[in-house]
C-alpha cells in the first residue's frame, strides 16, 4: 500500500465528520433515531462544500435521472449518493477506501431505507472493483486531490462507463499567488 493511500485512510479514519457524529446531531435535533427520512440526514451528511446545491449542479451536468447508474468515486459516508438516489431516482454505487466510512455509510443508508438504490463498497479508485462499460455516470466531490495517480483514476472511470457515459466532479485547486516586482 502506497504512503499516499495510507495517509488518506488515516486522515479519514480520524475525520471530524463520522456516522456517529451525524447520528448524534440528528438525535439532538429530533430526539430519537426512529423512522429517519433521507432528507433529515441532508443537513448533516454532505461532507463537501456547496451542500445540496453542489449535488444538484453535478447531477444536472452529468444528466443524472431516474434509474441512471451512477458510481461515486471516494464516496465517504455516502451523503451525495443517498441524495442522488432520493432526489433523482438514480441507482448509486459508491467506492470508498476507508473501512470505517464504508461501515458508517452502510448504516446511514440502511437507517433511511435506501439500501435498494445505494450501496457503498470498500475499494480503491485506482483499481475499481466494478465491471467494464456498465455505468452511465461517474461523479466525485472534492476527493480526487487525495488520489496519488489521477490519470489512472480517470482511466478507471472511463473503463467502467458505458459508451457515451459522463464524468462530473469537483475538486480543490491551489492557486499560486502572483508576485509582482
End-to-end CA distance of the chain: 45
Q: Does the structure show a pLDDT above 70 at 113?
A: yes
How confident is the model over 64-101, as pLDDT tens digits?
A: 999 999 999 999 999 999 999 999 999 999 999 999 99
Residue 177 pLDDT: 64
Active site residue 13: no
What does the pLDDT read at residue 146? 82
Whole-angstrom distance, CA of residue 94 vs CA of residue 120 = 4
Residue 123 pLDDT exceeds 90? yes
Instruction: Domain ranges for the chain, please list them.
Output: 3-170
**Strand segments (E) across 37-113:** 69-73, 91-96
Max Cα–Cα distance, the chain, nearest Å: 63
Task: Please determine, for residue 157, whether its predicted confidence score (pLDDT) is greater than 80.
Answer: yes
CA distances to 6, 40, 111 from 1, rounded to whole Å, are 7, 37, 33
H or E element at residue 53: helix 51-62
Catalytic residue among 4, 13, 106, 142: 142
Buried b (16+ CB within 10 A) or exposed e, 44-71: bbbbbeeeeebbbebbeebebeeebbbb
Q: Which CATH class is domain 3-170?
A: alpha beta
Amino acid at each position: 500500500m502506497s504512503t499516499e493511500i495510507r495517509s488518506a485512510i488515516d486522515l479519514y479514519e480520524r475525520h471530524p465528520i463520522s456516522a456517529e457524529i451525524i447520528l448524534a446531531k440528528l438525535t439532538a435535533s429530533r430526539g430519537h433515531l426512529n423512522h429517519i427520512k433521507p432528507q433529515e440526514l441532508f443537513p448533516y451528511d454532505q461532507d463537501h462544500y456547496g451542500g445540496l446545491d453542489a449535488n444538484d449542479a453535478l447531477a444536472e451536468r452529468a444528466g443524472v435521472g431516474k434509474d441512471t447508474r451512477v458510481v461515486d468515486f471516494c464516496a465517504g459516508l455516502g451523503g451525495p449518493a443517498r441524495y442522488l438516489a432520493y432526489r433523482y431516482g438514480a441507482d448509486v454505487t459508491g467506492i470508498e477506501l476507508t473501512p470505517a466510512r464504508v461501515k458508517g455509510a452502510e448504516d446511514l443508508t440502511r437507517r433511511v431505507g435506501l439500501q435498494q438504490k445505494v450501496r457503498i463498497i470498500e475499494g480503491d479508485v485506482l483499481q475499481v472493483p466494478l465491471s467494464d462499460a456498465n455505468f452511465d455516470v461517474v461523479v466525485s466531490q472534492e476527493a480526487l486531490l487525495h488520489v496519488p495517480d489521477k490519470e489512472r483514476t480517470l482511466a478507471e472511470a472511463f473503463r467502467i462507463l458505458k459508451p457515451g457515459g459522463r464524468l462530473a466532479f469537483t475538486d480543490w485547486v491551489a492557486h499560486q499567488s502572483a508576485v509582482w516586482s
